[in-house]
Amino acid sequence: MGRGDKKTAKGKRFKGSFGKSRPANKKADATAAKKKAAKKGK
């Protein structure tokens, strides 16, 4: 569960990769979540 563990965010930062635990674009994910919430309210 450290830098060598590719499944954790720390391991992904160390390796320089992206995935579930470290999404590549956090802004897009937040925007998508806001749009979904707005649609649900209507």
Task: Give mean pLDDT, residues 34-40.
Answer: 71
Per-residue pLDDT, 3: 86
Closest CA to 7 of 26, 24, 20, 16: 20
Mean pLDDT, residues 7-22:
90
Residue % of the chain over a pLDDT of 70:
74
State how far the Cα of 24 lies from the Cα of 16, in Å rounded to an integer: 10
pTM beyond 0.85: the answer is no
- Give the count of domains, the chain: 1
Give a yes or no: residue 4 inside a domain: no
Tell me the mean pLDDT in the region 7-31. Answer: 84
1 lies in some domain:
no
In a domain, 35, yes or no: yes
Average pLDDT over residues 17-24: 90
